[in-house]
Amino acid sequence: MSDDGDRASAPELSISEIGMGPPRLEKIVGPAALADTAASVADLFGVEVRVFSASGMMLAGDPLDAPALIGAALAMARGAPVPPDQRGPANERFRLLPIEYDGRAVGTVLLGPYALPGDVAAGMRVVQAKSVDALCRHLSRVLDLVMWSGHKALLTSTMHLATMRESYRELQEKNEKLNQAYARLQELDRLKSNFIATVSHELRTPLTSIMGYSEMLAEGIAGPLTDEQADFIATIRTKSDQLLGLIVSLLDMSKLESGTFFVKPASVVVVDLLSDVVATLTPTAAKKGVRLSVEGPADPLPTVHADEDRLRQVFLNLTENAVKFTPPGGRVTLSAAEGIDPRDHEGLALLAPVHRAVEIRIADTGVGIPRAERDRVFAPFYQVDQSSTREQGGTGLGLAIVKRLIDAHHGSIRIEDNDPRGTVFVVTLPCAADVESMPPAGSDDLLNSDALPPIFQ
Amino acid sequence: MQLDFVAREVTIKLVYYGPALSGKTSNLQALHELAGNDTRGRLMTLETQNDRTLFFDLLPLTFRSKDGDVSLRIKLFTVPGQPMHAATRRLVLQGADGVALIADSRVSETQRNAESFLDLKQNLKDNGLELGKMPLVIQFNKRDLPNIRSDAELEKLAQRGREPVFKAVAVQGTGVIETFVGLLFLTYRTLDRTHDLSKRLGIQGEELVRTAATQLGVTTPIEELLGQKMGGNFDGGRPTP
């Protein structure tokens, strides 16, 4: 905002001020054209015409040596109350006419000198009083037309110029971003090839040997084993399996981070997928004494646009976690319902019908996650229980991968409390139709976020 | 907003936003019709040959406080709704004090309404403004057409949302004043909070808005007018559950 009490010294019109303040007379009419009009009016009516602007400029007419008269004209141009009929230095008559625009004074017209019938004024043009009034009305109309057209043209040209500049700036910005993204992609492409080759070779090859040899030992190829030796070998094999799992997770993670991870989206029926996950994990849960179940709404849910294998990985991971952290006798419940994106609070009346989403809740009755930890659990290698003697194992990569997979599907994940105890992981995934038809702006936070690999941006 | 202490004038910029052909210009035309000669300025339209808004329409309205001491100057702008005029929309939004989103009630326009809203959000962001802090009302226009979203549906959604939602038939002048006064009320309240307008000008702010409504020919009490909204609130906060 501008608290300016001095309009005359207002700076150049900026775009946000377009149409806001009173326009300046000299800016919207050309002084040369105005002088011509004044001269032609003077010719027609035989009375001289001078035009002054609010900023104190004389825009048309010959110089006049009458300071008091000019002072009155300028005062009127600035909006001060000045009587219209004035007398000149030799007692000749003058008439002041305010020029107004949108209810504000922007200038003054000074008519004269002239004489009325009966005046003692040798050599001066004598006009009827009603002719002066008619001339004033006529001039008012003409000036109003000129101001209006001029102002409209000024606004149009200013907007035109500003719009062109803005479009150019926008294009430049986009070009710059594209160039940067392209350079980054090339670099990532190179790094990705190196990294994946290195990791798979350097880590997986020796591990495969370890696993192979321990298998041979277990099979007794190098001679019979004592019970204790067989136990040790079994431990080596279990731990090697875990290590291989971790390496595979790391590879997934690196692919997700570098943007070389591809989702192959198709329409997925969420409830079927959840039933599948529950069927897979029921033996594990049963062994631990945890009840595992799935609930869906009576009406079929809209399908989501996702890579089914990756989504299965997400829900397997979350459900496995839930079972892991739930003590025997507890229960883990998977449910799905239609929901809206929780971030769509603003403009809900407009967005809700087009931003449809499916909300999946994985609720357990386990140890729960403290409120302060909830944002951090999605960071790679983060564990709520950091103590070396923690009860539950795990690589600390599961939720980080889950989060990135959901991001890659333009979805969101959050954690809520389960009543009376436990945790609910709430995953929201946009529906198939929504993803296909919404413009990129529809999910600007996600699509423009730097946290996303470039391939999804 | 511009504040002129010498002339004792407040100039407020209100922008009518919305998808193409949703009736933004019709709203201004209706207001121009309804306002008295002392209040309204000339409606300036910068349009193309097909009557589509090119840069903007501008309707200046001037209201005077009861004692005539303070002038409330409202500059009502519309934006061009067509997608290609994105840069113009962003420019017109610069310095806006309040926004009315004029939505088309027809079911077929639902997607375009949402897109326009997101476009508004993005353009405000590009101008360094936050949608959450911008006084905003929503108008569902063209209630007289067939195949529109039902009152019950709008009512239900409006009550879950933050913004006051009004129904209108702009070409008949219905709901236009309600939307305008609602937006003016919300905008003045916000400006008063951020710039201490009433105190600095020594005026009763709400009284000034009330006077403005009277000068538009409103005879019903302003509370009743604001009560025409479906859902939302005038506190700028979240809806009460």
Nearest to A452 by CA among A264, A265, A181, A251: A181
Strands in A42-197 per DSSP E? 49-53, 58-60, 85-87, 93-101, 104-114
Q: How far apart are CA B56 and CA B15, in angstroms?
A: 10
Break chain A down into helix, strand, coil percent, rounded to 5. 50, 15, 30
Q: Which residue, among B207, B167, B164, B158, has the nearest Cα to B186 in the 3D structure?
A: B164
Least confidently predicted of A418-427, B194-203, B230-239: B230-239
A382: which strand partners? none
Mean pLDDT for A350-360 is 82
Q: Is the pLDDT of residue A59 over 60?
A: yes
Before A342, cis peptide (omega within 30)?
no
Q: Do B157 and A348 touch (CB under 8 A)?
A: yes
Encoded tokens for A50: 């001078």
From the list A353, A378, A61, the residue with the least C-alpha distance to B149 is A353
Contacts of B91 in chain A (CB under 8 A): 15, 159, 162-163, 166
Does A159 contact B110 at a Cβ distance shorter than 8 Å? Answer: no
Q: Rounded CA gap, A319 and A362, in Å?
A: 7
Comparing C-alpha atoms, which of A15, A375, A129 is closest to residue B89? A15
What tens digit of pLDDT does each residue of A84-119 get?
A: 999 888 888 999 999 988 888 899 999 989 888 888
Neighboring chain B residues of A20 at a CB cutoff of 8 Å: 2, 11, 13, 75, 95
Most confident range, picked from A159-163, A168-172, A192-196? A168-172
Separation CA A432–CA B238 (nearest Å): 30
The residue with tokens 């996303």 is A452
Which two three-digit tokens encode residue B213? Answer: 């409504």
Q: Give the mutation candidate from A20, A100, A343, A443 for the B interface (greatest B CB count, under 10 A).
A: A20
**What are the φ and ψ backbone dihedral angles of A329, each rounded to 5 degrees?**
90, -10
Q: How far is A406 from chain B (nearest CA, A)?
A: 23
Whole-angstrom distance, CA of residue B229 vs CA of residue B224: 10
Question: Looking at the predicted structure, is the pLDDT value of residue A388 above 60?
Answer: no
* Strand blocks (E) in B18-171: 44-47, 53-64, 71-78, 98-104, 136-141, 165-167
Q: What is the mean pLDDT of chain A?
A: 81
Q: Which residues of A touch B154 (CB under 8 A)?
A: 349
DSSP letter, residue B174: B
What pLDDT was estimated at residue B15? Answer: 97
Gyration radius of chain A over CA positions = 41
Q: What Cα–Cα distance (Å) separates residue A397 from each residue in A252, A263, B81?
A: 10, 19, 47
- Chain B positions touching A3 (Cβ under 8 A) are 3, 5
**What is the model's pLDDT at position A387?**
55
Contact B101 A350 (CB under 8 A): yes
C-beta atoms of A439 and B103 within 8 A: no
A215-257 pLDDT tens trace: 999 998 888 989 999 999 999 998 898 888 878 777 777 777 6
Nearest-CA distance A415 → chain B (Å) = 21
- Confidence bin at B61 (pLDDT 50/70/90): very high
Residue B9 predicted with pLDDT over 80: yes
pLDDT band at A200 (very low <50, low <70, confident <90, very high): low
Are B121 and A437 in contact (CB < 8 Å)? no
Cβ-defined contacts of A84-88 (< 8 Å, 24+): A86/A112, A88/A112, A88/A113
| Gap between the Cα atoms of B24 and B176, Å rounded | 10
Helix (H, G, I), strand (E, B) or coil at B99: strand
Over residues B81-95, the mean pLDDT reads: 89
Residues of B in contact with A156 (CB under 8 A): 46, 55
The three-point CA angle A326-A328-A333 to 5° equals 50
- Least CB–CB distance from B3: residue in A1, A148, A156: A1
Cis check for the bond before A420: say yes or no (omega within 30 of 0): yes
Determine the residue of chain B that is closest to A80 in CA distance. B7
Please judge whether A2 and B3 are an interchain contact, meaning their C-beta atoms are less than 8 angstroms apart. Answer: yes
Cβ of A20 within 8 Å of Cβ of B11? The answer is yes
Under 8 Å between Cβ of A75 and A82: yes
Please indicate whether, in this complex, the C-beta atoms of A347 and B117 are within 8 angstroms of each other.
yes
Structure tokens at B98: 């309040």
